[in-house]
Structure 1
Amino acid sequence: MRASNPSSVVQPLANPAMQALRCITCHAGYPLAELPEGCPACAGAGHPSSLEVVYDTQDLDFAPKSGSYTWGHWQPYLEGVSLGEGATPCVPVPALASLADVAAVWVKNEGANPTGSHKDRMSAQAVSRALAIGAHEVVLASSGNAAVSAAAYCAAAGLQCEVATYQALPAVFDAALRYYGARRVACDNGHARWAHVRRRVREEGAFALTNYSVPAVGSPVFGVEGYRSVALEWVAQGCRPDHVVVPTARGDLLWGIYSALRDLFALGHLPKLPRLWAVEPFPRLSLVLAGASQQSEFAGATQQFSTAGSTVTAQQVLAVRRSGGGAVAIDDAAARAGTRHLAAAGFWVELCAGAGFAALQALRADGRIDTTEAVMLMLTARGDRDPGQA
């Protein structure tokens, strides 16, 4: 069993600008505490909703800090567990802009993170929170990038990590979990994974890194806040997209990007709020935006491993509506075509990231993106371990 909290681990330093938690839907306020099931008021009313951190905006100057947590002053922790995540390349790709018939295409290459995906940003903040409150074990439901990332950061932090996975876990992920020393619990389906995590959290006090609620909410707040750094980076890197295209399952990354852009715009660091587009492998959010119940289950089959799932969360709905964007359903064939276009430009990505370029083409074709506009594509993970690419 892994030792807890070794002396070599950087002790988390909380952001003094962090004041409270707030529901993203009803705006009810809560103290800074563990509320992994989201807003109690909204849950009691039958429409669960995620929380966000409220910061003292007087302390949110837009100047990168030194140290491993460059944007810690915009996130829960100024310092904490790090493997060198963030500062990923933001690259203009004229060939893709020409192909899509838009003014510019930038790619934010999250495959350059330590474990190969954007999940490292969530793991750094979430595992730091676990250390800060004295947790000894992190538990999550994942059969992909989040599992590998959490296991790596827990190894670095000296915390035990338990991952509820599907029975048929790809061998490369299974090997990673074993090498990082994580415990794997194989489950028959998604709801069984969530039930296992729910029991471990409610009955045994484990620290939850991902959602386990039904109906679903986003992952617990302190981890989701880690995704704010993605947008902060590209703005600091000089990118000012009109549209941002984000592969989406339950919307953690989508909300983190939205919340940072919203704050940058409110504080005068952006001239306008970009429109966010959630890319999904089959209609889920698209149906909710058209009037279906957010609490429904949406069936569909896909090889887009990282964005599969049957649920929609409030953070997805609110991020696209408040930014003036929407949802785009891209099937596997179109995602493969998009992946080939990205590979031809030098970017080998997971299948759902390839769906992002296909979504850009669809949005341009139906006029929701204009030829004079600039677009940011989120390349969420490398393609070398995506089972959908086999």
Structure 2
Amino acid sequence: MSSYLGHLVHPLTGATVSEEDAYLPAEVDGGHVYAVPAHDLSRLRGLETTDDPGMFRYRPLLPLGDGPVVSLGEGDTPLVEATNLAGDLGLDHLYVKDESRNPTWSYKDRLAAVAVTKAVQQGRDTVVVSSTGNHGAAVAAYAARAGIRCVVLTLASVPLAMKTMMQAYGAETVAVENPTDRWVIMRQAVEERGWVPMSGFVGPPSGSNPFGCEGYKTIAYELHAQLGDVPDVVVTPVAYGDALAGLARGFQDLVDLGLSTSVPRLVATEPFGPYGAALENGYRAGATVPVASSVSFSIATPMATWQGWDALVRTGGAAATVDDAATLAAQRRLASSDGLFLEASSATTVAALPSLIEREIVGASDRVVLLGTSTGLKDIPTTAAALPDVPVIEPSLAALDAALGELARG
């Protein structure tokens, strides 16, 4: 039995939206907001699971029909306790949900798996995505698995590893100079050719494929299973709020099913602060903050989305802004203290912890989970540029000792 009712509901207007109309977000007060898949949890007996692989064992709570799923074994990612970093910060319980263990090394696999499965169930033959990396690589891989066409619209500036993954998975990959030009092309393809959008394609931004965003609910279900209840705080990097919205819905499902009595505080980390501004001033569609280049390029957005802001508000959450220097230092700190090498965007969660503790958003006894969205291996040059050169030495202990002494002095 599935809890999905076969249609969507707009979270602001309450209007029922058919699956056929689900891919174009509605304009509300100058902004764009997607409808959300409608569920009736009373159809289920608790958190029902199936024999499907990985995260698809939670299929009864996903907006899917019958038939096979498009899976590469995503989900079931480890929850790693960052014991050494926790001790340094004075925290009793600090964990990293390591989403780099997914098939294309990022949490985007959860969205792509559900969104591509839905596209296949609808009989579609082409998916299109606007992406600077992780999202495009994930969609390309799952489209390849499904045997359907994938078109990726990216930027010339994205790291080589990201472009290579997209192309290696068989996606027809093209780049533009102006980021918003991707949305113009993509909207035309969606409306005129019936291609299925895997990401957002309107401005002001709305978020991504509404079916795919439901895939992030499974992170909440897994955390509940791994901890025995929900954590107190979940800290996640944010761009257009897909994961925030999915997490909030997943944790609320656990409350509605009687498996938990509360939802965690969700905290958004970002390089430039649009979510912090929205929490302080109220959400205004199209409101922007100044931006520049950033090592956290995948979340370097000047605008918040309604769905991300709403998730923070509903969970009593917060936002934290961190700069590039703090982010790269945090990336090295987590890797050298607890053996987890995450992408710069993910490292913003580590960089934000001291301020979150000082602001009393995170308490010493809280169970805190950082969402490790992807691996640092996808952008080696950025990390390497901040590291010292590796010394080349003569083959003797004396030379080794001298080099180690130089390294220790930093």
Identify whether the pair has TM-score above 0.5, normalized to the shorter chain. yes
Contact 2:31 2:206 in 1 (8 A): no
Q: Distance in 2 between matches of 1:333 and 1:244?
A: 23
Q: Secondary structure at the match of 2:218?
A: helix
Match of 2:398 in 1: none
Q: Distance in 1 between matches of 2:22 and 2:372?
A: 30
Aligned-CA RMSD value:
1.7
Contact 2:108 2:135 in 1 (8 A): yes
Label 1:278 to 1:26 Cα distance change in 2 as closer, same or farther (>3 A). Answer: farther
Shift of 1:139: 0.5
Of the structure 1 ranges 294-303 and 370-379, higher mean CA displacement relative to structure 2 is found in 294-303
Contact 1:349 1:382 in 2 (8 A): yes
Q: Count the aligned residue pairs.
A: 374
Of the structure 1 ranges 73-82 and 162-171, higher mean CA displacement relative to structure 2 is found in 73-82
Match of 2:298 in 1: 306
Q: Secondary structure at the match of 2:32?
A: coil
Match of 1:91 in 2: 80
Shift of 1:389: 2.5
The answer to whether structure 1 residue 111 and structure 2 residue 116 are counterparts is no
Match of 2:274 in 1: 284
Shift of 1:44: 5.0
The answer to whether structure 1 residue 382 and structure 2 residue 371 are counterparts is no
Contact 1:304 1:388 in 2 (8 A): no
Q: Distance in 2 between matches of 1:173 and 1:370?
A: 37
Match of 2:34 in 1: 50
- For 1:165-195, what per-residue CA distance to the aligned partner results, in whole angstroms no more than 9, with x for missing partners? 1122322222222221111121112111111
Q: Secondary structure at the match of 1:33?
A: helix
Contact 2:95 2:370 in 1 (8 A): yes
Identity %: 33
Which consecutive residues of structure 1, in runs of 5 or more, have no partner in the other structure? 1-13
Q: Distance in 2 between matches of 1:98 and 1:64?
A: 36
Which consecutive residues of structure 2, in runs of 5 or more, have no partner in the other structure? 385-410
| Counterpart among 334, 339, 343 of residue 335 in structure 2 | 343
Match of 2:392 in 1: none
Contact 1:59 1:73 in 2 (8 A): no
Match of 2:49 in 1: 64
Contact 1:110 1:380 in 2 (8 A): yes
Of the structure 1 ranges 293-302 and 179-188, higher mean CA displacement relative to structure 2 is found in 293-302
Letter of the aligned partner of 1:59 in structure 2? R
Shift of 1:205: 1.3
Q: Distance in 2 between matches of 1:33 and 1:234?
A: 33
Match of 2:394 in 1: none
Letter of the aligned partner of 1:275 in structure 2? R
Q: Secondary structure at the match of 1:80?
A: coil
- For 1:213-272, what per-residue CA distance to the aligned partner results, in whole angstroms no more than 9, with x for missing partners? 111101021110111111111101125311110100101011111110011112221122
The TM-score normalised by the length of structure 1 is: 0.91
Label 1:372 to 1:44 Cα distance change in 2 as closer, same or farther (>3 A). Answer: closer
Match of 1:151 in 2: 140
Match of 1:6 in 2: none
Shift of 1:354: 1.0
Paired residues for 1:1-390 under 5 Å: 15=2, 17-38=4-25, 40=26, 43=27, 45-60=29-44, 61-68=46-53, 69-77=56-64, 79-238=68-227, 240-291=230-281, 293-301=284-292, 302-344=294-336, 345-386=338-379, 388-390=382-384
Larger Rg, first or second structure (1 or 2): 2
Contact 2:205 2:305 in 1 (8 A): yes
Structure with bigger RCO (C-alpha 8 Å, 6+ apart): 1
